[in-house]
Structure 1
Amino acid sequence: MHELAPDCGGKHNGSDVWLDVQRWRKAERKRLLASRLLRPQAHRQNSSDAIAKQLDLDIKQFAGKVIGSYWPIRGEPDLRNWGIEVAERGGRIALPVVIEKGQPLEYRIWTPGDPLERGVWNILVPTRRAAVQPDVVIAPLVGFDPQNYRLGYGGGYFDRTLASMTEKPRTIGVGYADSELSTIYPQPHDIPMDAIVTS
């Protein structure tokens, strides 16, 4: 990435540059994930609680809203207890489900106590239900930059899903504050979050 300076500005084009970006993102993803997994469980829980409080301030009104959340994996902030509180305040939690590789995610309503099954990558997902359109999408991130671009796991599922939605939901990336990068070298398919919430 020595040829791609953070101050280049804008989105980069060209297959050679994109290959460089892909290699750099893969290396940064590996580094950030390794660092994240070294965090003590108590630290992760404190961060998760702080993120939940910030989400309350950002979203404010939950009654009648569908909040697209996620089931945590690989040291991600754990918002499951917060999701239960959202349901108690009249909101509804929807969890993402991979239906097919390379296709948008499908969000399904999950109520505490509902059965879950193992989905792609062994992630727990709601059993077969009708898909819903979230009013707010909370996307876990591996890294992020000051322009609110999110570095994920590399599958492109969240960007593909947001691009396919008929009505744009409010999008909030959540992660750890020390995962900030000067840039993720955004490409034309990358969609910035409306907000990033970290701790």
Structure 2
Amino acid sequence: MADDDRPATFASPACFLHEIDPAYAGLPGPLDLQAWTDVNRWRKAERERLIAERLAMPAATRLACGEAIAARVLDEIGDVTGRIVSAYWPFRGEPDFRPFLLAVTERGGRTALPVVVEKGRPLEFHLWQTGEALSRGVWNIPIPAVPNPCRPDIVIAPVVGFDACCYRLGYGGGFFDRTLAAMSQKPRVIGIGYSGSRITTIYPQLHDIPMDVVVTETGIIRPQASTVRALT
């Protein structure tokens, strides 16, 4: 049975905080609460549309796209010897990057998974490699059974949607932005998703942090020079 056909008991990434004012979640608040309400409502509808579209993709197509994306990411990263790369556990039609984690270790790198401490707090990253034990964390998200916190050099961030400026539409929890904002040394952030997930804009707000690059099965998107924050 494919992961997407299983009951929703093992979930990743950790992005299920309520749809609320970002300031409540410890992020910079919007300048205009009404504008944020409008953007939030739009994002929720767009999120549902994009997730439905990728779940409708044939499993074989998703697999092929995931393999193509992983190959591009490995090329983009280059030499991983001695570097820590954090990825994720696939959820709701996301590209399956578990083989990617194995490839990183085979090339001399180290791998990690994100760990939810609790709602409203940044994620932690813990070392884990293929074959090691997993346990169920917050919201049944698979996490390393043996805690081993680390600071990743590279973070692979799955997207629901993305725009030309490499802003990320996630699941609405704010964990991604909160985590990056709390890090004294920002890792390189590589967003990954299907080419069909590209949208004109996510209407970025003060709390949104762009990714360094987005990789899809068809190519690599680097942030455009002009980054406009809309509806702030």
TM-score by length of 1: 0.92
In structure 2, the residue corresponding to 1:94 is in which secondary structure? strand
Summarize the alignment of residues 100-139 of structure 1 with structure 2, pairs less than 5 Å apart.
Answer: 100-139=118-157
40, 50, 55: which one aligns with 1:37: 55
In structure 1, the residue corresponding to 2:108 is in which secondary structure? coil
Task: Give the structure 2 partner of residue 173 of structure 1.
Answer: 191
CA distance in 1, matches of 2:166, 2:205: 13
CA distance in 2, matches of 1:13, 1:148: 22
* Matched positions, count: 188
Identity of aligned residues (%): 56
Summarize the alignment of residues 45-124 of structure 1 with structure 2, pairs less than 5 Å apart.
Answer: 45-124=63-142
Q: What amino acid maps onto 1:84 in structure 2? A: L
User: How much has 1:120 moved relative to structure 2?
Assistant: 2.5
Q: Unmatched 5+ residue regions in structure 2? A: 1-29, 218-232
User: How much has 1:130 moved relative to structure 2?
Assistant: 2.7
1:85-107 Cα deviation digits (max 9, x unpaired): 10011101110011110110010
1:36-78 Cα deviation digits (max 9, x unpaired): 1111110111011000111111100111000011011111000
1:108-162 Cα deviation digits (max 9, x unpaired): 0112211001222322111241311100011000000000000000000011111
RMSD: 1.0
In structure 1, the residue corresponding to 2:208 is in which secondary structure? coil
CA distance in 1, matches of 2:200, 2:143: 34
CA distance in 2, matches of 1:13, 1:197: 31
In structure 2, the residue corresponding to 1:99 is in which secondary structure? coil
TM-score by length of 2: 0.79
CA distance in 2, matches of 1:120, 1:141: 20
1:184 matched to 2:202:
yes
1:147 matched to 2:181:
no
Task: Give the structure 2 partner of residue 3 of structure 1.
Answer: none
Q: What amino acid maps onto 1:43 in structure 2? A: T
In structure 2, the residue corresponding to 1:23 is in which secondary structure? helix
CA distance in 2, matches of 1:128, 1:68: 16
Q: What amino acid maps onto 2:77 in structure 1? A: I
